[in-house]
Structure 1
Amino acid sequence: MIYRIEVMPAPGLPDRRGAALLKDIADLNLSGVNSARVVEVYWLKGNIDRAAAETIAREALTDPVTETFRIDEPGEKTTAGRAVLVAHNPGVTDPVEETILKAAADLGIALEAARTGRLYLLGGSFSRPTLDLVTNRLLLNPIVQHAVNEQSVIFGENPAYHFQLRQIDLPDGDAALCDVGKLFCLSPDEVRAAAEYYAKAGRKPTDVELETLAQSWSEHCVHKTFKARYDFDGQVIDNLLKTTIARATNQLDKDWCLSVFVDNSGVIDFDGENAVCFKVETHNHPSAVEPYGGAATGLGGVIRDVLGTGLAARPIFNTDVFCFGEPDMADEELPPGTLHPRRVFKGVRSGVADYGNRMGIPTVNGAVLFDNRYTGNPLVFCGTAGIMPAWAARPGRQSPGDLIVLMGGRTGRDGIHGVTFSSEELSDKSNEQSFSSVQIGNPIVEKRMTEAILKARDERLFTRITDVGGGGLSSAVGEMGESTGAKVYLDRVPLKYSGLSYAEIWISESQERMVLAVPPQNFDRLLEICRGEGVEATAIGEFTSDKKLKLYYDENLVCDLDMEFLHGGRPQLELRASYKAAAFPEPTFPCPARLDDDLLRLLSRWNTCAKEWVIRQYDHEVQGGSVLKPLVGHNSDGPGDAAVIRPVLDSGRGVIVACGINPAYSEIDTYRMAASAIDEAVRNTVAAGGSLGRLALLDNFCWGSVKDEQSLGALVRAAQACADLSLAYGTPFISGKDSLNNQFRVGDRVVSIPHTLLVSAIGIMPDAERAVTMDFKGEGNLIYLVGETKAELGGSAYYAAHGFIGNSAPAVAPAPAKASYQRLSAATARGLARACHDLSEGGLGVALAEMAFAGGLGARINLSRVPQPGDIIRDDYLLFSESNSRLLVEVAPADRADFELIMESSAFGLIGEVTSSPRLKVQGLNGSLVIDQPLTELKNAWQRPLKW
């Protein structure tokens, strides 16, 4: 028996989803649609009567205060015309299904299956093309959903799989080998290496063996571009990662770095008894074709990275950084085969927020950037930090005979070829080609799995753990078994549905799965813990001592690979890279007499404006340890520089996290772009009360082509900047991730993203109570500018607002900057800084406005007091330069002497004071006012663009 249940707002109550949909339709500039209703639809299948269906609807699916429901008997279909019923495609994970089945079981009702959908009812006078446009733009994504019609089958059956071993011919000749390479996403050199291996073995490879090589050797899993051998304008660089970022960390050799570049995340010491780990991942390509699912599983994946670090860490906070096309892009400018940036933005935001909120992890730090070159290829960075006992901080080591235990969600076709999909460029055909590459997450399963893993860790039931992410079991088991060997029985893997081949089971990237090495004597106790948490765990094989990867299906050997070849047989890439300095027209416009309009325009730019609409939809305080949250100030709506968390609630020690990113500078010089990102991340932590004492960095490179010599040269220079600044500041890199080939092809035209580097900083604060916010605190307090302002406006928001790029991207002078940061941290530790804020996009003008309206207090500023080399004679350059290593500091008059004594060897200037008048007044070099604006106007300009 099948019942369809519709749940809708109770009579007299507003339909908030309908109102939001109506607003989205208005954003498309469509006329005729004047009403919208949204109804949740559930299908229940089982040997139950109507009374049981009503019980489930009333007790599990409906809020009795705000909602009502109706039940249709079997056979009723969606009406045509103005109603659109959207459901998941066959084979796509429906995350709510398991929850419904569990809820029904708790009510004593046995269901066979459940599905969910959403019914949209549109009113008004509009055409069929309008309905189709609304449907395709707003109501469904064909990658994972479809509009239900008369032919739709809600509960379809998957055909059974009949085993047949598939062997692959590796014919002679480069052209034939290339054809095999295209089929399995292997390069010609990689196929040749495989052909040599199998020629020596005297046999043909199986399909699952080549799939294993493709996953393990993919850019996503092995980072082969960073490990390549470069000819960089005649200079030989053997392994870019090893000779730059990793080299710097090794030279610094910090004893508080407990585990770096060897595990799923980097680990630093917290307090001697506990350690903190941090990882930031990218999930760009899946988010381009399915924003909600791609972003949600990006966050779910990085949470599992933390769970799979050492012997498992408890997640304590999330971060996220997004790069999109501009939300107001005209429809006619949208490349074929892409989703509109506004839709991508909303989908990504929802996916990350829903996953993090449902996991009970606060989202505390991030950024959102816009550039239309991200339209076809958005960037989605998701980060998670965790805490663990110090004894669990380093990777475990399994022994031969330990069981290979698969824990968590079941395996399906979602995510197959995800890593190879993410390693290639996107095109206008990607939506058609990526149906199986998109994973669908279920945070409730991951939450239950997290609790089970942490309990098992505390009882020391497993010897090693890793997550099942890119490459699926292929990468997880393959990597874990490198030093020992592994034997896996693929027919023992729990499946979501029938019909999966042995190769699909092995490479599926279905979410919420972990692999553990468990001594046989501990397995029963592990199962007991898992049953208590409602988590599935299955022994699918064992680790061996023969250093071979052997896979079986129904006792048939389908894979027999030497671990040495799997992990050491990939041929190293040989790449040519070159660098040529960019040259852009220098701006020639005169300095305006008044800069009010320029400041208002900068505050309203997409990259500078308030991101409150995004931030408010995350939980910042769950777990109860948040000290500094993303929004601060007297109305809690000012842009904080960093977040501070107390992960151990009975301790005063804190973890501080911040980030730095500005791809606009990469137009001019990626060395300066990378150095600026590091400096921004560092000064954000200093602004919030942190220090360089125990501060670590993470890198996330997102690049376009890795075939173009200039693009690779830009990558080399950025990596070199990371090494130089890391050594100069004494801040080691502990983890990183790259995502390459971020470009979108439409026919013969290729649009590449700007070269983008995200740098995240994580540090330890001995006393979290010393944290500082950026909002002005008191009338009469003094305003200092620390750091020197130079005519560095290349790539700046100010130049961009006037239609220029320029050539003078901000540089970093690390020695004086480091000294200033150390002195300012000392002043903060003594409580001398009442407020502090870093200068970044928009320079001094934007930072002053933000501090003022965040505190509800005005300021009076004199630009003639700004520390500078003496060659800047323009007020706009002083006000909007984006020179690095600068901060604004508010100091009480009584603390002036102490503050100036601490800072006396650094460049700093007393540039003004805080006023009770709610206005920002800035006096130019000639003594006249160049800005005189009420805070309300400044704040409105800043909040208006994303006040959705």
Structure 2
Amino acid sequence: MQTAKHVQIVLKDSMRDVAGLHVQSDAKKFLHIDTGKVKTGKIYSIVHPMPDDILLAFARNSLCDCIIHDLYIDRLFTSERFPAYILISKLPGVTDDEGVSAQKAMCDFLNIPFDYGAHVIFTHEIYYFENPLNDERLKTIAEELLGNPLVNRFEYGKFSGQVTYIPEVHLESQPQVQTIDIFVSDEELQKISRERLLALDLHEMQAIQAYYQNQLVQAAREKHGISQLPTDCEIEVIAQTWSEHCKHKEFNATITYKDLDNGAQKTIHSLFKTYIRRSTEIIRERYEKAGHNWLLKIFSDNAGVVRVDDQRVFVWKVETHNSPSALDPYGGALTGIVGVNRDPMGTGVGGASLLFNTDVLCFGPPDYQGKLLPGQLHPRRIMTGVVKGIEDGGNKSGIPTVNGSVVFDERYRGKPLVFCGTGGVMPAYVDGKPSWEKRIDPGDRIIMAGGRVGKDGIHGATFSSQEIDEHSPRSAVQIGSPITQKNLADFMQVAVARGLIKSSTDNGAGGLSSSIGELATIPKGAFVQLANIPLKYAGLQPWEIFVSESQERMTLVVEPQKVETLFALAEDFEVELSDIGYFTDSGFLDVRYGEQKVAYLDLIFLHDGVPTKRMEAEWKKPKLSEPIIKESLDYNDVLLKLLGSLNICSRETIIRRYDHEVKGKSIVKPLMGQNGYAPQDAAVLRLDFDSYVGIAISNGILPRYGDIDPYQMAAGSFDEAVRGIIAVGGRLPDPQTDPDIFWSVNDNFCVPDSLYHPQNNPDGKLKLAKLVQMNEALFDMATFFNIPMTSGKDSMKNDFIKEGVKISVPPTILFSMVAKIPDVRKTITTDFKHEGDLIYQVGHTYDELGASEFYHLFGELGANVPRVRKEQALRIYRKMMEAIEQQLLSSAHDCSDGGLAVALAECAFGGNLGALVELPDFDLSLNALLFAESHSRFVVSVAPQNQPAFEKIMGDDAFLIGQVSGRQKLEIDHQNKTVLALDVQAMLDAWRSGLVF
């Protein structure tokens, strides 16, 4: 144990301790513990030798703000007023990003080089409590509110004024290569997979066994001087490469699909190839036939690539980080956001300039009162940790979080869904060659850039391919370092601009094993020296080094003559580089640790040897009926309850934590309007400061609709994302009329285990049938609207299993869309702008209350789910496009959750204006008129002088329903009777108070 000196900073008594107030409030609100006043502090344990006067100067100049902080050196704050405390430290090996930042500041202050391999500053959080809490209550606060036993160490009780703990890693093992005997029975093969957390089934283990039994393989291994049995590294590399996370085995399975209602049957050879890839190929063929091709790269790299213009391409990716976020919400979400940042950074040549983040989150209810299973975190705890992780991941990286969505459903209480997306821009050409292409030749060097390798993230790919149970490993949890990655991103942009990087990819699932293994398929081979890889601490085994997913790492392809220049540039950016091998044309992935031969794998077998899964799907329509809900309701009360409900209420308490202004390019922000409360349907950003060309970003997700009809759920999610972009002024792509308007879509499927098992998963066939229908809807919608998928992700095992109880997420699909905006000055927002403007409903309402938020208030599901009428939607969208192009609209807001009544309320309180509305008689119930969530609809406001031109364009697809009022009241009449009358402030208060955070 090293001897440390301690520096502590605490806020002066005259300063408001906001963090302490939050802890005090949350402990009382959520844990029913009265802490009294809470005082917070930060402790830095420094093991670097420094004279006392230098330490004091460093602390004053680099660690504290002397105006607001009291500073303590080698003595810590204690007070009889605070008889209880909690100290929270990192466990050994857990990333201490703040400690690393402090260490870099120390090196700058002392003018000494930063040593990447020596961690000498460790941070601790300390909380002092005014009330004398016992150990049980302090433990509850520590583990349920402040930290996570998976990544934190806790001390609590009465503070002695000393800190002795330093989270040093001590691993005694020596690096060695072991062999695994797989020439065994089927039962033993399954045992190997289970005990090593390989997440491989029997057929896959048998395929590995057959490979090593092949005489040609045995001869090649003998010639190479490696064992006939697979090494531990080889088994682990195959498992990571063949994981569901990497190989998408269920999306590439052969599926026998039966419709039990009509007897129809079909065989699907790969959902991905049949529906997702094929839909985009059809769309690309249409554009190429018309002489246009802005679809440059789909599904074959870390992110999709589309052409913006002759000088730029747009790159973006959305993926999930569900399993880690269930174990450690903060670390899981932070790693998710910085991880997806690396996808655009590692596409093609790499070095994309990152424009924005978007996040869609699915949680259990934060006020959940039910029993928690062992290892299951409370939904509120998951939500707060995830939000904080995204905040730190985005804000500290200097990337704006511009939009997203939050969905609540009890079925997400076991495993949340955390969708993270990042978009960026690259120059179209680097050194005269397309930037989106990866070029690698034998002899090119393999350079690892960024963070060091540790045990964190081992088995991440295989772990995310399994349900969460008592065997879920701590090593799968990672903590990202946004500051490290920001340096890496800045470095890569400059290195690419100078022609120093030939290609790049990120170290994500499977770590180096996947990044090098995938890059090696281009030149047909690679040689890797693991001994050259810098480690966070000694004692890792070779296989652990190769598959670890420790964060902030990229794999760069560099021509030998440029290595020295690249290393010199990296030093300027404080980025650590390591030359760890070179590419070959041997056909093999050849891995060494010093003189030890660690792995020798045929690349064809590694990437193409996984057996095709065979699965069964059976669909039977659920027997549902419409409930009878009277029409003599107190509609004022209903609307206020809807506005305050979890799936409709304001996300302001989350949004305000995210910086959506950094970089200065956001035009339409998450909340806008005169008072800054109006929710927007899509975000709009400028691409640069030299023109008004921009992009719109939207999301569509409607999981509850899938309880009635999974096809319409997926189709509706697609339509929701499309109409969000239309609402702000986007234009649909068209091969003939708008050849330069690109759209780029990420599809993300998150479903429960869909592999049938008579005991463990008896409804697997039905769940798989739902997945098939979701894919059919994707194909139909994409090809109809000419909107292509360019990238995406699937997450297949979203179940939480403990003590024989399984909590499965509802089958969920997210469509994340980006569209080019030719002129951001023509975009519009949702809030009413002017008293006297005319209010129209654009689009048609139907008797479709099934799965609506209105029915949910009454505990009902219903049967009539909203249906997408594609031809009608296209007609309406084209008319909206024309009206916006002619600048006839003052505002536009899509109708979605809560229907027309909620949309009107949001438009009103966003502009501090009221509305007088007369509902047309559409031969529908009043409940449907107010609250049906029929698709492809908008509420728009139009200046009176624009009425003739607007009505000429819209024809029978728009209905005059009222006028914007200055009375700050929403009044809705029906058949000459006032059915709803609410003050705008009352609606706003209900909407803003719904999500307690």
Q: TM-score, normalised by structure 1?
A: 0.97
Partners of 1:136 and 1:81 in 2: CA distance: 19
Partners of 2:244 and 2:73 in 1: CA distance: 50
Which of 827, 830, 843 aligns to 1:771? It is 827
Aligned pair in 2 of structure 1 residues 151, 167: CA closer, same or farther (>3 Å)? farther
**What is the match of residue 295 of structure 2?**
257
**What is the match of residue 244 of structure 1?**
275
Instruction: Map residues 882-901 of structure 1 onto 2, 5 A cutoff.
Output: 882-901=933-952
Tell me, what secondary structure is at the counterpart of 1:760? strand
**What is the match of residue 11 of structure 1?**
13
**What is the match of residue 48 of structure 2?**
46
Partners of 1:79 and 1:498 in 2: CA distance: 44
**What is the match of residue 862 of structure 1?**
918
Letter in 2 for 1:244: Y
Aligned pair in 2 of structure 1 residues 557, 75: CA closer, same or farther (>3 Å)? farther
Report how far residue 718 of structure 1 moved: 0.2
Tell me, what secondary structure is at the counterpart of 1:244? helix
Which of 207, 224, 232 aligns to 1:193? It is 207
Tell me, what secondary structure is at the counterpart of 1:699? strand
- Aligned residues: CA RMSD: 1.9
**What is the match of residue 407 of structure 2?**
369
**What is the match of residue 706 of structure 1?**
754
**What is the match of residue 462 of structure 1?**
501
Which of 528, 535, 551 aligns to 1:488? It is 528
**What is the match of residue 926 of structure 2?**
875
Letter in 2 for 1:885: S
Tell me, what secondary structure is at the counterpart of 2:356? strand
**What is the match of residue 397 of structure 1?**
439
**What is the match of residue 596 of structure 1?**
636
Which of 107, 116, 127 aligns to 1:120? It is 127
Which deviates further from its counterpart, 691-700 or 737-746?
Answer: 691-700
Instruction: Map residues 812-827 of structure 1 onto 2, 5 A cutoff.
Output: 812-827=868-883
Instruction: Map residues 213-362 of structure 1 onto 2, 5 A cutoff.
Output: 213-233=238-258, 234-253=265-284, 254=287, 255-312=293-350, 313-330=352-369, 332-362=370-400
Report how far residue 502 of structure 1 moved: 0.5
Partners of 2:541 and 2:78 in 1: CA distance: 35
**What is the match of residue 421 of structure 1?**
463
Are 1:159 and 2:174 an aligned pair? no
Letter in 2 for 1:390: A
- Please say if residues 78 and 148 of structure 1, whose CA atoms lie closer than 8 Å, have aligned partners that are also in contact: no
Instruction: Map residues 669-748 of structure 1 onto 2, 5 A cutoff.
Output: 669-693=709-733, 694-707=742-755, 708-748=764-804
Could you report, residue by residue, the CA deviation over 1:709-732 in whole angstroms, capped at 9, with x for unpaired residues?
Answer: 111110000011000000111111
- Please say if residues 3 and 73 of structure 1, whose CA atoms lie closer than 8 Å, have aligned partners that are also in contact: no
Partners of 2:611 and 2:979 in 1: CA distance: 61
Could you report, residue by residue, the CA deviation over 1:647-692 in whole angstroms, capped at 9, with x for unpaired residues?
Answer: 2110110111101111110111110000000000000000001111
Report how far residue 153 of structure 1 moved: 4.1
Partners of 1:468 and 1:518 in 2: CA distance: 16
Aligned pair in 2 of structure 1 residues 941, 77: CA closer, same or farther (>3 Å)? closer
Could you report, residue by residue, the CA deviation over 1:462-496 in whole angstroms, capped at 9, with x for unpaired residues?
Answer: 22110001110011000010132110000100111
- Please say if residues 78 and 84 of structure 1, whose CA atoms lie closer than 8 Å, have aligned partners that are also in contact: no
Aligned pair in 2 of structure 1 residues 31, 403: CA closer, same or farther (>3 Å)? closer
Report how far residue 125 of structure 1 moved: 4.2
Letter in 1 for 2:637: D
Could you report, residue by residue, the CA deviation over 1:592-650 in whole angstroms, capped at 9, with x for unpaired residues?
Answer: 25411111111010000000010011111111111111111111111011111112110
Q: TM-score, normalised by structure 2?
A: 0.92
* Structure 1 unmatched ranges of 5 or more: none
Aligned pair in 2 of structure 1 residues 504, 861: CA closer, same or farther (>3 Å)? same
Letter in 1 for 2:234: E
Partners of 2:121 and 2:137 in 1: CA distance: 32
Letter in 2 for 1:631: L
Partners of 2:559 and 2:206 in 1: CA distance: 39
Report how far residue 357 of structure 1 moved: 0.8
Q: Which runs of 4+ in 1 moved over 3 A?
A: 73-81, 109-112, 125-128, 148-153
Tell me, what secondary structure is at the counterpart of 2:36? strand
Which of 206, 213, 218 aligns to 2:231? It is 206
- Please say if residues 488 and 542 of structure 1, whose CA atoms lie closer than 8 Å, have aligned partners that are also in contact: yes
Report how far residue 81 of structure 1 moved: 6.7
Letter in 1 for 2:210: E
- Please say if residues 234 and 599 of structure 2, whose CA atoms lie closer than 8 Å, have aligned partners that are also in contact: yes
Letter in 2 for 1:415: G
Are 1:628 and 2:676 an aligned pair? no
Report how far residue 558 of structure 1 moved: 0.8
* Structure 2 unmatched ranges of 5 or more: 113-117, 157-161, 219-227, 259-264, 288-292, 734-741, 756-763
Which of 768, 786, 789 aligns to 2:842? It is 786
Which of 514, 528, 534 aligns to 1:475? It is 514
Which of 485, 491, 514 aligns to 1:446? It is 485
- Please say if residues 44 and 53 of structure 1, whose CA atoms lie closer than 8 Å, have aligned partners that are also in contact: no
**What is the match of residue 957 of structure 2?**
907
Number of residue pairs aligned between Structure 1 and Structure 2: 937
Instruction: Map residues 902-941 of structure 1 onto 2, 5 A cutoff.
Output: 902-904=953-955, 907-924=957-974, 926-941=975-990
Report how far residue 59 of structure 1 moved: 1.3
Partners of 1:496 and 1:219 in 2: CA distance: 28
Letter in 1 for 2:558: V
Partners of 2:908 and 2:394 in 1: CA distance: 32
Could you report, residue by residue, the CA deviation over 1:8-55 in whole angstroms, capped at 9, with x for unpaired residues?
Answer: 002311111111100110112424421211111110002222222222
Tell me, what secondary structure is at the counterpart of 2:110? coil
Are 1:91 and 2:93 an aligned pair? yes
Are 1:607 and 2:647 an aligned pair? yes
Partners of 2:771 and 2:610 in 1: CA distance: 22
Report how far residue 160 of structure 1 moved: 5.1
- Please say if residues 263 and 395 of structure 1, whose CA atoms lie closer than 8 Å, have aligned partners that are also in contact: no
Tell me, what secondary structure is at the counterpart of 2:178? coil
Aligned pair in 2 of structure 1 residues 393, 792: CA closer, same or farther (>3 Å)? farther
Aligned pair in 2 of structure 1 residues 112, 463: CA closer, same or farther (>3 Å)? closer
Letter in 2 for 1:916: G
Tell me, what secondary structure is at the counterpart of 2:841? strand
Could you report, residue by residue, the CA deviation over 1:903-942 in whole angstroms, capped at 9, with x for unpaired residues?
Answer: 22x5221111111111101112x32111011001111110
Aligned pair in 2 of structure 1 residues 791, 413: CA closer, same or farther (>3 Å)? same
Letter in 2 for 1:891: V
Report how far residue 158 of structure 1 moved: 2.2
Tell me, what secondary structure is at the counterpart of 2:38? strand
Instruction: Map residues 39-118 of structure 1 onto 2, 5 A cutoff.
Output: 39-72=41-74, 82-108=84-110, 113-118=120-125
Report how far residue 376 of structure 1 moved: 1.4
